[in-house]
Structure 1
Amino acid sequence: MPKGVWFGHSEDERTKRSYTLIVSYSAPDGLPMAIATPSISDAEAPLLDQIVEGSVDFKGRPVSRSKSGGWRSAVFIIGVEVAERFSYYGISSNLINYLTGPLGQSTAKAAENVNVWSGTASLLPLLGGFLADSFVGRYRMIVVASFLYMLGLGLLSLSAVMYSPDCQTGSGTSCSPPSAQVILFFFSLYLVALAQGGHKPCVQAFGADQFDEQDPKECKAKSSFFNWWYFSFTGGVLVALLVLSYIQDNLSWGLGFGIPCIVMCLALILFLLGSFTYRFRLPTGEKSPFVRIGLVFVRAAGNWQADTFAASSEAEAQGMITSKSFEQYKFLNKALLAPPNGSKQESSQVCSSISDVEEAKAVLRLVPIWTTCLVYAIVFAQASTFFNKQSVTMDRRITPNFQVPAAALQTIISISIIIFVPIYDRVIIPIARSLTGTSSGISMLQRIGAGMFLSMISMVIAAIVEMKRLAIAAEYGLVDKPNETVPMSMWWILPSYVLFGVSDSLTMVGLQEFFYDQVPTELRSVGLALYLSIFGIGSFLSSALIAVIESATRGHSWFDNNLNRAHLDYFYWLLAGMSAVALAAYLYFAGTYIYKKKVSV
């Protein structure tokens, strides 16, 4: 990955013409390359606008705006994301049915395993983002993660075809696969999680890097990029749910896991084909952003006895006008001061700059937003677990000879997203812009809050539908017949899935843009990893919540293997109440949030 660019100035004594010396550090070998270019006259000034400052190409050279980045590069990267999401959801969407089927696990145990795996997969991007932003670079991390993906998916497919015919047909009364096969399965599954941890935060950050924030047109395009990014990868999810769930349920689990492996091979080839169109962002500081921000907290703690007035005086001495941002989290302003017993020479090296303090505050401001979104993540986890198991008991026939796979009902979420995103981007946002007079129309935090509200409503509807399903099961004497289909159409669950899709379009995309935009520029992979970690922690919390409820309701479990005796409706009501509390807290913190200032180049 390109490491830096140095600009110098010289003059040719023979021609008396000025030259600018650009020394860049290329990704392939890390060696500096010197490029001498004539200083630009007024007549040539328009050409300067074609150079994207702060970015270089694959070989470490300055990039032209007209020949790199933008949608030209984003198309390759979005294509890779579509393939990756197809592969990931091809595994995750039907995982609970695989665990309760061929692996013979109970419903509660399978849901717990799905949540733990999903949580791990969503937390590992923190590691991947850190390595990418600090050492490896986003481009290289995507390539490495793609190879890990292919390995994990290949081994997963191998583990699935190793089961005996009796296990796959379910003819045995008690089928327990050999431990070696189970170990291989879970090893492969967590290898996929590791690959996702490197792939997910870097691909989206690298895609957004293709748009120059300092150019008005590209800045506007970047806002749309997040919408169309989610729209496109939802298409990949939709195909996975429709095609792979059918193959897995009706043909072969091995084939259903093997197809994603082939798709990831094609995705890597596509990504590499776009290499010479990509823009690579250059680091903006000598120190690692982690070091700079960490030192702010350390120095502020070291000066804990100092007066905040002294920090304000120091800021004014550096020419800063006191602002709302400066007044928030005042204790961090103490990092501007020298240690009590330090000499002047030492003080110049141990005081943080105002920009470093503002970066630290920007990170700290994310914590309340991150925390209050955790309940949304718990709700989000239900679509691929209990919603799926609930659908299995319902009448899913479209024709007398065709029954929709339960996992395929999740396509309703994807279809809702595919329909809503263009409406949001092309209709709602232009109207909001005309009403508010702002370029965004609807702020990122407003968008997130609207989605959280809809997710709460989806839980209320899910609880009502489950109460209806249990009443019908009792009416038809099916309480003790868990394998019988409850005469209740699958379309009853449609509203919850639709609201899930619309809320995802609002909250998920809003969180992606928010955590990319509000972190320091050099930490954008980590920023997107923080967004993903919401759903990782949410999955773990969902798993813990299920375990606590399972223990507390033993004997009359809310998650009984016989769903006709279970009480998922109670669980959905609990989640609706938790969502209401979390939304109230979110609205408070969102109302006091101070957005990061845009700095012009």
Structure 2
Amino acid sequence: MAEDYVYLQGGRVGAPDAEDDSYTKDGTLDYRGNPANKTVTGTWKACPFILGNEFCERLAFYGLSANLVLYFKNNLHQSSAAAAKSISNWTGTCYLTPLIGAFLADAYLGRYKTIASFTIIYVIGMALLTMTTSVPGLKPTCVSKDDCYATAGQSAACFVALYLVALATGGIKPCVSAYGADQFDEDDEVEKKHKSSFFNWFYFVINIGALIASSLLVWIQTNKGWEWGFGIPAVSMAFAVVSFFSGTKLYRNQKPGGSPITRIVQVVVASVRKYRVKVPADESLFYETANAESAIKGSRKLEHTNEFRFFDKAFVELPTDNTKGFKDPWRLCSVTQVEELKSIIKLLPIWATGIVFAAVFSQMSNFFVLQGSHMDLHVGSSSFEIPAASLSVFDTLSVILWIPIYDRLIVPFTRKYTGHKNGITSLQRMGIGLFISIFSMICAAILEHIRLQMVREHSYYDLDHMPMSVFWQVPQYFLIGAAEVFTVIGQVDFFYDQAPDAMRSLSLSLALSTVALGNYFNSLLVTIVANVTTKNNKPGWLPDNLNYGNLDNFFCFLAVLSALNLGTFMLISKWYTYKKTLGTLR
């Protein structure tokens, strides 16, 4: 029957006794498709396998992306601006493809199958990328370590592998954090308190992977070669597959609720068809299922709100809504279905403010690296040189430092005064991060201004590394890391919590898409700034040799955009109303 749902191995779903506290109340199932038993599934005993998968995947991703701008410049022989745009476009795609993975997870496959299948694609992409750096004919021809040339075919093979990885990330990014949160029963007050903490430690694990990638892997890429630098992340992804499948019997799985896009379009179509219909004041006349359960699988009912009332017309029942004895979903929608659309619409303004932050954050993988590459890379007075991309380790260390401080000190302290279970709301947390990000750009601009003054005073224009320590970049990386802890984790928590139950992967992919659009936005800004500032034969702000440019002006420009973005976010946050759920999951 349609009500029977098989998640993995053909088990039949049976509803446990409502008084039986040994089963979850949020509709989750075990690996056989039966109601999840609290004593043997979920919570922190299932999370290590999910976190292990994410650790290996993030190690691979950051090991690939941290130094990629220099690979484009030195091995594929791209200019500074072209390399910055290439990394922005690829990174943007990595954060746009989650819309595909989220749709498949929410509508058809569920999060388990989506993560499992896309992780395997990831391994294939990484293996192909490793081949483009080690197999004769596929790898570029190098005159020296930093002077290589790639044919059109070699460049194409590299980008095919990279965009295969970008596709694979689309099935993992929006699902893994949501899948970890699924392991905690929302209807169990004890487990629910651990969910927000999970997001903090989830991001902590991500940054441990990033720490290893931005230090050890970047050093290997710089000193031992790209075949090792890309080969190790490929092996890491193989471990990610093993880790994820090892926890199969412990996982709790939410049922896919059918296509969320279809449900959204149905509401729009039904409300347009009934544009002349007046919505009755008596809410008992609104169309919704009579029982406590929602008609949407994997979702609780949502309370009716008075926002965007035009769409309320979709749940006004008319005689013409019946087709051959059945309710036509393209003419009549439930209150919960209408409120799903409203919830997504309300998220969009908050979502939009994340784009500028993502553009600022993207500087770590392009212009921060290029800025550092012109500075003294020696560690103290020793002969050892640190790769410029390895400075991102201070962003990671900042995150690793701030997460325990936030989780163990800030939350308990603020909880005493606010009474909020998380100390401060997710929106307040995001706003603090946006504020901190402004100072990261100001700090980077000041450093670049001082660096360029030294270049001009001492004619260091053609020096590969001027006598100014790269460790002066530490403050700007540290501030970006602090901004991450507040804004990025706040976004994940907010978009998961405020999404309709059956749209959580889609909602998280929406949050991730700000990173994509932020990178595309940065690429657009670089193109515009390069074109505008190079008129009349001027070198412009962003020439190949940054010693002749004005990168400090570009950082100042981003600081101004960030300040305007923060003001917009504060206005939107005052307007936002939180969702309210009714009944139980189906």
Is the TM-score greater than 0.5? yes
Matched, 1:49 2:25: no
> Equivalents in 1 of 2:181, 2:13: separation in Å?
28
Matched, 1:71 2:53: no
Q: 1:304 to 1:347 in 2, by over 3 A?
A: farther
> Equivalents in 1 of 2:229, 2:566: separation in Å?
39
User: Residues 302 and 339 of structure 1 are in contact (CA less than 8 Å); yes or no, is this contact kept in structure 2?
Assistant: no
Counterpart in the other structure of 2:392: 410
Matched, 1:114 2:95: no
1:178-327 correspondence to structure 2 within 5 Å: 178-283=151-256, 288-306=259-277, 310-318=278-286, 326-327=305-306
Q: Deviations over 1:313-353 (max 9, x none)?
A: 25253499xx9962211212222224696679889543222
Counterpart of 2:459 (choices 470, 477, 498) is 477
Secondary structure in 1 aligned to 2:149? coil
User: Residues 338 and 347 of structure 1 are in contact (CA less than 8 Å); yes or no, is this contact kept in structure 2?
Assistant: no
> Equivalents in 2 of 1:368, 1:274: separation in Å?
37
> Equivalents in 2 of 1:424, 1:552: separation in Å?
43
| Segment drifting more, 396-405 vs 358-367 | 396-405
Counterpart in the other structure of 2:514: 534
> Equivalents in 1 of 2:118, 2:429: separation in Å?
31
> Equivalents in 2 of 1:396, 1:98: separation in Å?
18
Matched, 1:142 2:115: yes
Counterpart in the other structure of 1:597: 580
C-alpha displacement of 1:146: 1.4
> Equivalents in 2 of 1:131, 1:150: separation in Å?
20
> Equivalents in 1 of 2:15, 2:556: separation in Å?
68
> Equivalents in 2 of 1:313, 1:347: separation in Å?
26
Secondary structure in 1 aligned to 2:468? strand
> Equivalents in 2 of 1:358, 1:427: separation in Å?
36
Question: How many percent of aligned residue pairs carry the same amino acid?
Answer: 37
Secondary structure in 2 aligned to 1:327? coil
C-alpha displacement of 1:311: 1.4
Q: Deviations over 1:146-182 (max 9, x none)?
A: 111111111111111246999445279x742233221
Q: 1:152 to 1:343 in 2, by over 3 A?
A: closer
Secondary structure in 2 aligned to 1:428? helix
Q: 1:324 to 1:468 in 2, by over 3 A?
A: farther
Counterpart in the other structure of 1:358: 339
RMSD: 2.5
Secondary structure in 2 aligned to 1:281? coil
> Equivalents in 1 of 2:243, 2:287: separation in Å?
49
Counterpart of 1:458 (choices 430, 440, 447) is 440
| Segment drifting more, 396-405 vs 108-117 | 396-405
- Aligned letter for 1:468? I
Secondary structure in 2 aligned to 1:419? helix
Q: 1:340 to 1:462 in 2, by over 3 A?
A: farther
1:352-501 correspondence to structure 2 within 5 Å: 352-398=333-379, 399-479=381-461, 481-483=462-464, 485-501=465-481
Q: 1:411 to 1:325 in 2, by over 3 A?
A: farther
1:19-34 correspondence to structure 2 within 5 Å: 25-28=6-9, 31=10, 33=12
Counterpart in the other structure of 2:296: none
User: Residues 77 and 207 of structure 1 are in contact (CA less than 8 Å); yes or no, is this contact kept in structure 2?
Assistant: yes
| Segment drifting more, 406-415 vs 331-340 | 331-340
Secondary structure in 2 aligned to 1:458? helix
> Equivalents in 2 of 1:134, 1:348: separation in Å?
21
| Segment drifting more, 324-333 vs 227-236 | 324-333
> Equivalents in 2 of 1:582, 1:24: separation in Å?
45
> Equivalents in 2 of 1:221, 1:206: separation in Å?
14
Secondary structure in 1 aligned to 2:549? coil
Q: Deviations over 1:63-99 (max 9, x none)?
A: 2111110011111101100100000011111000001
C-alpha displacement of 1:460: 1.1
- Aligned letter for 1:327? N
C-alpha displacement of 1:535: 0.5
| Segment drifting more, 143-152 vs 118-127 | 143-152
C-alpha displacement of 1:599: 3.7
User: Residues 287 and 316 of structure 2 are in contact (CA less than 8 Å); yes or no, is this contact kept in structure 1?
Assistant: no
Q: Deviations over 1:344-384 (max 9, x none)?
A: 98895432222122111101101101112211111111110
C-alpha displacement of 1:24: 5.2
Q: 1:494 to 1:527 in 2, by over 3 A?
A: same
1:575-590 correspondence to structure 2 within 5 Å: 575-590=558-573
- Aligned letter for 2:551? L
> Equivalents in 2 of 1:508, 1:270: separation in Å?
25
Unpaired runs of 5+ residues, structure 2, are 289-301
> Equivalents in 2 of 1:303, 1:26: separation in Å?
38
Counterpart in the other structure of 1:332: 311
1:148-159 correspondence to structure 2 within 5 Å: 148-159=121-132
1:520-531 correspondence to structure 2 within 5 Å: 520-531=500-511
C-alpha displacement of 1:34: 7.4
Q: 1:473 to 1:436 in 2, by over 3 A?
A: same
> Equivalents in 1 of 2:140, 2:429: separation in Å?
50
* TM score, norm. by length of structure 2: 0.91
> Equivalents in 2 of 1:181, 1:56: separation in Å?
47
- Aligned letter for 2:527? A
Number of equivalenced pairs = 563
C-alpha displacement of 1:55: 1.4
C-alpha displacement of 1:549: 1.1
> Equivalents in 2 of 1:439, 1:197: separation in Å?
32
User: Residues 356 and 561 of structure 2 are in contact (CA less than 8 Å); yes or no, is this contact kept in structure 1?
Assistant: yes
C-alpha displacement of 1:129: 0.8
> Equivalents in 2 of 1:273, 1:526: separation in Å?
26
Q: Deviations over 1:15-50 (max 9, x none)?
A: xxxxxxxx653423xx4637798x79xxxx5xx111
Matched, 1:103 2:76: yes
> Equivalents in 1 of 2:434, 2:51: separation in Å?
26
Higher strand share: 1
Counterpart in the other structure of 1:14: none
C-alpha displacement of 1:204: 1.5
User: Residues 286 and 315 of structure 2 are in contact (CA less than 8 Å); yes or no, is this contact kept in structure 1?
Assistant: no
User: Residues 162 and 181 of structure 1 are in contact (CA less than 8 Å); yes or no, is this contact kept in structure 2?
Assistant: no
C-alpha displacement of 1:591: 0.8
> Equivalents in 1 of 2:145, 2:378: separation in Å?
24
Q: 1:311 to 1:392 in 2, by over 3 A?
A: same
Unpaired runs of 5+ residues, structure 1, are 7-22
C-alpha displacement of 1:597: 1.4
Q: Deviations over 1:372-397 (max 9, x none)?
A: 22111111111100000001111221
Q: 1:162 to 1:55 in 2, by over 3 A?
A: same
Q: Deviations over 1:265-311 (max 9, x none)?
A: 1111111110000011134x6x54333222112222222233xxx31
